[in-house]
Amino acid sequence: MNHRLSLPTVVALATSALLPPPVMGQLAISGVRRVAAGEAVRDRPSVAVGPVGYRVVWEEAPTMVPSTDLGRNFRILQQEVAFDGTLFGTPTLAMADWSHQWGASPAMSGERSWLAYYFADRSMRTGDRDLGLTWYSGFFDRPEITFRLSQDPSRGPPINHSSPALLYDPEAASLIVASSIGAYLGEPRPGRPSYDSVNIEVRVMDLAGTEQTRWQVKGPDEVGEAATPALAILPPEWRERYILGYVSNAGQRDNGVNGYSVWLELYDRDWRVVGGRHLLHPLGGAARPALATVDGKLFIAWVDNATNDIVISELDQNLHPSWPVRLRDALGAAGFAEQFGAGAPGLSSPALFDNGGRLGVAFVATWEWDVASGRARQEIFLGTVAYRH
């Protein structure tokens, strides 16, 4: 298969045409529910929809100060939520493997479910991160098998695998994992970054977790870092089958986080690149793209770094955004402050999902982030996004 021998045709669009002004668009949010509350560092929520409710997973640590001590490390927690927003019990550990766990991404079929994530362990070298995949019976009923999808080589610099996006394709009976990969070079020094080139790696596996093929997506023209991938199966009437989104600082490497923008690539059923688009380059940079196909429409969300806000939009078959909306505006119109507290928390880490034919969104609201004290209050929320009538 010719996965990445030629790069997609990318079209740069004007930022002013993509970033919505700070007013409401035609998309609105409703049914906002708080899933995890109180002081803690929380990030990267994701959602699976089951027969009686949601399974929400996220990474959590009590403080922002890094530590491998038990009770202070990052763990993946899960919370069962009824469709009406009722919380079933309290958050529990999704698994007990490894010292640190981050970035969980769920997938499911009718009979089983899977959770991909990345991890570090006390036995691993500094900078080494690997990918794990846990196979559950039913709808995350019971963990049965844990696969280690990557392992650090014995020689050379540690390899950092991170930010997996897991996709189940029922038509191909396969699991797809896209993740970031880069060799860790140590603490940054003048003239030397912490990592060599950071790229996207894609694995295609059968439903037992056996790898069928793997390749690297080196980003636009192989001149920019590529990270934090998102995956989705496209609407059935589209010519293409899959879409991969990620951020890259191609052409903007000297601008740090301000240089990242969103790139999209389209693939056919054989994972050949058949098109793509450079979505935008906003002032301050973009982060954490999320993708979902719902009711025959493709949606995207991403973080606008300059405003600590989330932008959500439908994408047409030319990957043009339709009626983008800022989540902060949508939450304001939905009475978020009256229900959860005044102020303008930073919004981040969007996750999109099919909520029974409606677009669901999970996100993080950061109310407090005090580096001096190590205190943080980041809370997880769910909501439904739809066009206003």
Task: For residue 32, tell me if it sits in a domain.
Answer: yes
Q: How far apart are CA 34 and CA 49, in angstroms?
A: 17
Assess if residue 203 is contained within a domain: no
Provide DSSP, 76-120: EEEEEEETTS-EEEEEEES---SSEEEEEEEEE-SSEEEEEEEEE
Q: Is residue 329 part of a domain?
A: yes
Angle at Cα 119 formed by Cα 4 and Cα 254, nearest 5°?
A: 55
The amino acid that residue 4 corresponds to is R
What percent of the chain clears pLDDT 90, i.e. is strictly above it? 68
- The pLDDT, as a whole number, for residue 191 is 61
Asked if residue 195 belongs to a domain, the reply is no
pLDDT band at 21 (very low <50, low <70, confident <90, very high): low
More confident residue, 11 or 204: 204
- 7 located within any domain: no
Number of domains in the chain: 1
Q: Tokens representing 92? A: 């529990």
Amino acid at 288: R
Q: Which amino acid is at 176?
A: I
**pLDDT at 102 > cutoff 90:** yes
pTM (two decimals): 0.92
Assign residue 312 the CATH number of its domain. Answer: 2.120.10
Q: Among 131-135, 223-227, 230-234, 306-310, which is the least confidently predicted range?
A: 223-227
Q: What value does the mean pLDDT take over residues 236-258?
A: 91
Residue 350 within a domain: yes
Both tokens of residue 55? 């399974």
258-281 in b/e burial notation, b at 16+ Cβ within 10 A? bbbbbbbbbbeeebbbebbbbbbb
Share of the chain above pLDDT 70, in %: 89
Specify the range with the lowest mean pLDDT, choosing from 91-100, 114-123, 288-297, 327-336: 91-100
**Residue 305 belongs to a domain:** yes
Can you give the residue range of the structural domain that contains 275?
A: 15-101+112-127+136-147+232-387
With beta carbons less than 8 A apart as the criterion, state whether 279 and 261 touch: yes
In a domain, 106, yes or no: no
* Contact in structure between 310 and 348 (CB atoms under 8 Å): yes
DSSP 321-383: EEEEEEHHHHHHHTTHHHHH-SS--EEEEEEEEESSSSEEEEEEEEEEEETTTTEEEEEEEEE
